[in-house]
Amino acid sequence: MKAKTRSLSTQLVLSLGIVLSVFTIAQAISSYDLARVGVNAVLDSRLSNVAQRVRDLFEDAIPRRSAGSSNADDLAVLVWEPDHERPARTTDSAVVFNRDAAPGFSDQIVNREAWRVYTMVAPDNDVIQVAQRTSVRQRMAEESAVRGLLPVFVLIPAVWLAVFVCVRRSFRVLNRLGLQARAIDPAHLVPLSARDLPVELMPFVCSINRMIQRLGESMRLERDFISDAAHELRTPLTALKLHADNLEGDIAHSNKERFQALRQTIDRSSLLVVQLLQLARADSQLVEIPTDAVEVTQVVTSVVADLLPIARVKGIDIGADELAPARVCATESDLRAVVKNLVDNALRYTPEGGSIDLSVFTVHDCVRIEVADTGPGIPEEALPRVFDRFFRVNHGIEGSGLGLSIVRAIVLRHGGTISLSNRRGGQPGLRAVVTFPLVGREPLGQSGSDACAGHAAYVHASRA
């Protein structure tokens, strides 16, 4: 089962957003309760102030008889005189509170309604009571508390947005490191930049850079070994080939067949040495990419002309569908090696009577070289391995297993892409696609530019 990919930035956004939201909601609940308590305290203070004003100034303004308050939000004011069983003055004759309540605040039930009552005893022993319905007080407290909560509903989305922006800004350096790491390939082993890095990332980046350094040293030793071995082998093989040429006239007729087999073995060994040298050179980072422009169509035409006799012997029709003028920054020898290996690979696998079609055209700032044959193609299960050095799909066909490894190394070193795919639409064969950046364009890197990669979306593979 495929492991589920998790995003660290998403986890941080969710975690921080949830934590801050929980704290915000808790603060909102606390503020709601405090607002209710505060409003009730203000209303209590209002009741006591009204009672004092009635005692000091407005007692005579309270009517002796009242038909009842028409507004439930109004305060009820009662004035009791000594030795009277009914209030002497009242703003709402429908309610009568307990005059014997202790001075101060009390909660009373009158006419099945809860009231908050403030009782005050005047110097002349008059009892003044100011009351307010509890339901009105609760409604006012809740309305005030809810208005205080309105900023919270705006604050929570703002908190999530702020967390998202902060996390994205914090992870920008990781994205930059990711792009740098993505650009690293065997042809471009460049250490990650430690500029403007947070302290927490420095050990990680330093470890990666040490690994890149060790990998580069290992690859350098491998290239040096291949190059040295190829140079050491080329001299005795050349001498052996010269001795064979000198002995050809002295070989008895009965030994001609075995002598030709010996010659073929020497030729294959010499070709392998040459390919090892080409591969070591293509892999080398010490070889600078030239700035001179090479005309692609001229190189393709020259390679086809060189290989045309071999195609005629095998009865293979080789030609070009489209050859658009295009220039790339590469040495002619490198570009020639790329085209020659692709066409030679197609010649090896295309049966007699088949065809090989070449095309050169530009697509989105890239020059695209295509070689399509009518051979058997590549088994799908072999596609992941065919770029491996010395890997061969069909051991019955002569080859070293290095041809397209050389092509891939050259193409990547020049910032291009290489891809192979089996032909579609019921047609047998293989289609090889190589792209190079046009003159004046930036190199595509290992994966190529998005535009070129989109037009060369084939399975990355090769057949040697």
pLDDT digits (tens), the chain, 464 positions: 455 567 777 888 888 888 888 888 888 888 878 888 888 888 888 888 888 887 777 766 677 766 565 577 778 888 888 877 788 788 887 788 888 888 888 888 988 889 889 888 888 778 888 888 888 888 888 888 887 777 777 888 888 888 888 888 888 887 888 788 877 776 667 888 877 777 878 888 888 888 888 888 887 787 777 667 767 777 777 787 787 778 777 777 778 788 888 877 887 777 777 777 777 666 665 445 555 688 999 999 999 999 898 899 889 998 887 888 888 888 888 898 899 989 988 888 888 889 999 999 988 889 999 999 998 888 877 776 777 777 666 655 665 667 778 888 888 888 888 888 888 877 888 888 999 988 755 444 433 334 344 333 332 333 33
Q: Any residues with CB less than 8 A from the CB of 17 and at least 6 apart, and which?
A: 159, 160, 163, 164
- State the first-to-last Cα distance of the chain, in angstroms, to the nearest integer: 33
Q: β-pairing, 366-373 with 327-329?
A: unpaired
The pair of structure tokens assigned to 442 is 């930036």
The neighbour count for residue 193, using CB atoms within 10 Å, is 12
Domain boundaries, the chain: 8-164, 199-267, 288-455
Q: Which pTM value belongs to this model?
A: 0.48
Domain 288-455 has CATH 3.40.50.300: no
Which residues 6+ apart lie within 8 Å of 196 measured at CB?
Answer: 173
Q: Which of 128, 167, 141, 189 is nearest to 43 (CA)?
A: 141
Q: Which CATH architecture describes the domain 8-164?
A: 2-Layer Sandwich (3.30)
Distances in whole angstroms, Cα of residue 279 to Cα of each of 171, 183, 238, 273: 39, 21, 20, 10
